[in-house]
Chain A
Amino acid sequence: MLLQILGSFLAVVAFCFILNTPRRHILFAGLTGAAGWALYLVLGSRGLNTGVATFFSGCLVSLCGQLLARVLKTPVTIFVIPGILPLVPGAGMYHIVDSMLRSDSMTSYYVTQTLVAAGMIAMSIIVMDGLFRLFFKNHIYKGDSYVDR
């Protein structure tokens, strides 16, 4: 499991280079991603299903992203885009195609699982952003600002 968490950290950091994330934020983005994946693994080993585990780890990634964005005064997406990547259901997409080619009866199950995981990522970002907007109104600019930066 340690190897998996290390792997997710390395993967997120390397993905930051593809996205050309600012150098000074790469370490934080990597830690965000690794924290999210570690929570996912823990929840998974406790027997929670993929959707719920994705939701909670997505919340953690989004929480870290929102906090870091406010501390470092930078857009939230700089941390959330790379950090969320290990949770994106690439495995589900592969299993859909694989089961379609085999024409076994699992296709609809995998389709549902993949859509649920993608939806849960979206929900977790929405929930965290909503909470932050509730508690941290117009923190940097005075006036009618709604952009987190």
Chain B
Amino acid sequence: MNYKLLLDTAVAAGELMLENGAETYRVEDTMHRILSLSRLQTAEVFVTMTGFVATLDDPSIHSMTVVRRITERGTNLDMIDQLNSLSRNLCSGELSLEAAARQIQDLKSHPWKPGAFLVSTPVVTAAFALTYGGTLSEAFLSAVTGFVIAVCLYACRRLKLPSFFGTLLSSAAASVLASGFLRMFPFFGNLDSVIIASIMPLVPGVAITNAVFDTLHGDYLSGTARMLEAFVTAAAVAMGIGIGLGISG
């Protein structure tokens, strides 16, 4: 067996999973399964939210260790699902190592498309206005603020600003817009429901869920890190609303 290719495959899979928002225990488990295919004496992985170490060792080979640092994190559940079934097929022997390595390279080269993001964020905010008992006109205004949020987030992503600023800026922009508009046309609806609906794409739902799952599987290091991420994101949203409402008086 080509141990180098095996290690590279495990590393590439782990890197993609971490970057696309998989839970830490899942990454660790997947990488460990792939490395265990080598049947070498030592096949160890240690994964945290911000990077990982993987090592293969045996009396018969020179030991190999890879360290990777993960700097960018987003959420792409499709990638996690595909890597999940890929590693399952690889471990059950349905897929050869070479084919798996090629498939992972293919997945890696998939670019992130902003189109779906720009379209669906306004739908999310409009639908949330209805979810929380708002009227149709409030839903319409929420769709407009949702589009502003999507554009802000996209711009911050392109400028490679930290996600804290992206969240802060977009919630500030949304609340300035909503309160400014409702000041001019007060009959249009209630400010509370518009702002609550607009911030829903920004709230740390992913971080809370992953924090719980990581903590549950005994990965307290990542669990606390994600909890902190949730608090920081929530603080950014809250500060953004505060700034926005402050500016518009």
Contact in complex: B131, A86 (CB < 8 Å): yes
What is the bound-complex CA distance between A62 and B128, given in angstroms? 20
Centre residue among A10, A19, A76, A101 by max chain B CB count within 10 A = A19
Contact in complex: A122, B208 (CB < 8 Å): yes
- The verdict on A146 contacting B209 (CB below 8 Å), with A14-B124, A22-B78, A97-B238 known, is no
- A96 in contact (CB, < 8 A): yes
- A70 in contact (CB, < 8 A): no
Centre residue among B203, B230, B242 by max chain A CB count within 10 A = B203
- The verdict on A90 contacting B199 (CB below 8 Å), with A97-B241, A118-B208, A149-B84 known, is yes
B-side interface residues, number (CB < 8 Å)? 57
Interface range on chain A: under 10, 10 to 19, 20 to 34, or 35 or more? 35 or more
Contact in complex: B130, A4 (CB < 8 Å): yes
Q: With a CB–CB cut-off of 8 A, which chain A residues contact B84?
A: 74-75, 149
- A116 in contact (CB, < 8 A): no
Per-residue CB contact flags for chain A residues 63-81 toward chain B (1 = under 8 Å, else 0) read 0000000000111111011
- A100 in contact (CB, < 8 A): yes
Per-residue CB contact flags for chain A residues 1-38 toward chain B (1 = under 8 Å, else 0) read 00110111111001111111110010000000000010
Contact in complex: B234, A93 (CB < 8 Å): yes
Contact in complex: A122, B130 (CB < 8 Å): no
Contact in complex: B199, A7 (CB < 8 Å): no
Stretch at the interface among B22-30, B95-103, B155-163: B22-30
Q: With a CB–CB cut-off of 8 A, which chain B residues contact A149?
A: 26, 84, 88
Contact in complex: A85, B200 (CB < 8 Å): yes
What is the bound-complex CA distance between A94 and B128, given in angstroms? 14
| Contact with B124, one of A11, A78, A97 (Cβ below 8 angstroms) | A11
Contact in complex: B81, A75 (CB < 8 Å): yes
Contact in complex: B238, A125 (CB < 8 Å): no
- B225 in contact (CB, < 8 A): no
- The verdict on A88 contacting B203 (CB below 8 Å), with A7-B131, A18-B116, A129-B216 known, is yes
- B127 in contact (CB, < 8 A): yes
Distance in angstroms from A42 CB to nearest chain B CB is 14
| Contact with A81, one of B77, B82, B234 (Cβ below 8 angstroms) | B77
- A106 in contact (CB, < 8 A): no
Q: With a CB–CB cut-off of 8 A, which chain B residues contact A9?
A: 127
Q: With a CB–CB cut-off of 8 A, which chain A residues contact B145?
A: none
What is the bound-complex CA distance between A15 and B202, given in angstroms? 11
Q: With a CB–CB cut-off of 8 A, which chain B residues contact A53?
A: none
Per-residue CB contact flags for chain A residues 83-99 toward chain B (1 = under 8 Å, else 0) read 01110111101101110
- A48 in contact (CB, < 8 A): no
Distance in angstroms from B159 CB to nearest chain A CB is 20
What are the 4 A-B residue pairs with the smallest beta carbon separation, nearest first?
A: A7-B130, A11-B127, A14-B123, A10-B127
